[in-house]
Chains A and B, each alone.
With several copies, the nearest count.
Chain A
Amino acid sequence: MTIDVKYFGSLRDRLGRAEDRLDAVGELTVAGVWVALHPETPLPLNTLTAVNMECAEPTQTVRDGDEVAFFPPVTGG
């Protein structure tokens, strides 16, 4: 399956890119997506996650074609 991955805010800056594409097999959680793409970098504390633009827990399972996003606490308004 293919997962589109997006990064925002300071996390995007830190990673040096705004998106990734992950090709994987088997069952995968949101946290698993991060580990697969960044095996050396633990998910930064306070990182929020979304699946298909809805807030999601890191334990949520992802499906083929999902868009997964990682971002720091929001600071709008």
Chain B
Amino acid sequence: MKIELRARSFDPLLEVGFYQSGLGELPGQCGATAIFIGTMRDFNEGEAVHRMMLEHYPGMTERHLQRIVEVAAREWPLLDALVIHRVGDLQPNDPIVLVAVWSAHRAAAFAACRFIMEELKSKAPFWKREETASGPRWVEHNTPG
């Protein structure tokens, strides 16, 4: 299991491939990989967004991400999980979050990946400030999944 905050842009597919290649015992046992990638859009709530700042609470954010993944691993039979989340300044099309989950069976992989994303969006301490044509604005709440 790995949780990581990144201050710079990252390639989610490369990250999954790289992490996976280090999982020696996984091949053969793993029947299902579920991956979610959240990407910054260039519009939100009807307005063009050309930049975004992702603030977090150093220490608390990592702790809560870790806990979310641990809860998922108790709930479903996971072989492994990887969560990477951006912080700092982002541009449209930049990856914001990656959740990858490995399991023997697809039901567990799908459910755990979804669970981690929903928990992360509703509980992990991150705050988005968008730069729009009419100035900066804080995103007030996340939409339910």
Contacts and interface: CB of A to CB of B under 8 A. Distances in A.
A16 interface: no
A9 to B, nearest CB: 3
Contacts of A9: 55, 127, 129, 138
B117 interface: yes
B16 to A, nearest CB: 17
Interface string B98-139: 000000001000000000010011111111110000000011
A50 B58 CA distance: 13
Interface string A31-65: 00000000000000000001001000000000000
A72 to B, nearest CB: 7
Interface residues of A, number: 16
A76 B61 CA distance: 10
Given A8-B55, A50-B60, A53-B60, A76 B138 contact: no
Contacts of B141: 73, 75
Contacts, number: 75
Interface size class of B (residues with CB under 8 A): 20 to 34
B59 interface: yes
A26 interface: no
Nearest to B125: A74
A27 interface: no
A71 B127 contact: yes
